[in-house]
Each structure stands twice: as structure tokens, then as C-alpha cells.
A = this chain, B = another copy of it.
Amino acid sequence: MPIQKVDKERIIKDSLKTFKAQGYHKTTMADIAKACGILKGSLYHYFKSKEELMEAVIDYLTQYYENKIFSVKNKHDINGYEKLVFLMKKSEEIFLTDNGGCLMASIGLETVNVIPHFTQKIQRFFKSWISCFEQIFSDKFPPEKATELAEYGVAEIEGSVLLMLIFQDEKYLKHAHQRILNRYINS
């Protein structure tokens, strides 16, 4: 009677790091198994394919963001500025750990023409993120402007993450965050 060495969530978390660092196609099931401390075959008890695992990772991460981070938009005990500061703090935590980068952007770009159902799931993540910014900005801006600023902010952050990775310099992300805060303040 074998002992449960891992569970689905454990596998998701461990493979998340690997997918984030290496991308989808470069990561092998053997890489993931090793990262989880189990054997390749055992992965198939939890996920019936690599695609399904990747989808579970995307879903898990989306829910994590929605529940733990983007949910800040509905808080009543802090103001808009504080919400933005919270978002940036969390972004920096996540985009700077495990070699840095944003899994959604990396996997999104890598698979957009190749595995369309990943793209659908990734859309949900970006919609949630944009909608979070939108709601915060709608304090101070009319709806259309809030929407545009939200898309603008997400784009700016993702572009900065790219430059950060390419040049190995965190300043890009920090500057982007600062600009977003400034746009909010100076309105």
C-alpha cells in the first residue's frame, strides 16, 4: 500500500516553476516528475496528458491571482492607491521569483498559434487582471478611460517583464509600476 507522496496541487505547484522557467515545449514530463520527486509514469495518475497538466497549472494560477490578488479590488478598508501598491508588491513577488517572468505571458506567446485552448484560458487571466485595474481606476476616471488605463497598465507591466528578463534588470518592472502609480496620483 503505497503512501501518497504528492497530490494534484503539489504537482501543479512544482510543475508551475518548471513551465515558467523553461516554457511548455522544452519542459518534459520527466523534468516535471523530477521536480515533484516522483516518477514519470506516476504523473499520469493525476493528469492524463501534458496538455491537461498545463491547463491545470494555468487554471490554478488564474484562481490564485483572482482569489489572492485581484480580489483586492473589492476591499473596502483600503483606498485605490493602497490597492495599486498592493498589486505591485504582489506582482514583484511573483514576477521576480523562480528565474523571474510571467508564466501567462511566456506560455501565451509560445502557444498562441499552436494550442488554442491554452489561449482561451490565458485570456481569462488577463481579463481578470485588466478588470482589477479597471475597477481601481474607476474611482478617479470615467469608465472608458478606466478601461484604457487598465489595458495600458497590464501591457506596460508585461512589456517591462520582457525587458527585465532579456536584460536581467529589475528596474524595468519597478519603473513601470512607478509610472502606473503616478498616472493614478496625478489625475
Contact = CB atoms under 8 A, between A and B. Distances in A.
Is chain A's interface secondary structure helix, strand, loop, or mixed overall?
Answer: helix
A48 B105 CA distance: 31
Copies of this chain in the oligomer = 4
A169 to B, nearest CB: 10
A155 interface: yes
Contact of A114 (B22, B105, B162): B22
A123 interface: yes
Contacts of A165: 108-109, 112
B167 A155 contact: no
A60 to B, nearest CB: 19
A96 interface: no
A166 B26 contact: no
A139 interface: no
B126 A99 contact: no
Contacts of A158: 158-159, 162-163
A113 B100 CA distance: 10
Contacts of A123: 166-167
A55 interface: no
A156 B172 CA distance: 11
Interface in A159-182: 159-160, 162-163, 165-167, 172, 175-176, 179
Nearest to A122: B166
Interface stretch (A8-16, A62-70, A83-91, A146-154): A146-154
Given A26-B114, A109-B110, 18 more contacts: A23-B25, A99-B112, A101-B112, A106-B110, A108-B162, A109-B109, A109-B165, A122-B166, A126-B163, A151-B163, A151-B175, A152-B176, A154-B163, A155-B159, A155-B160, A155-B162, A155-B172, A158-B159
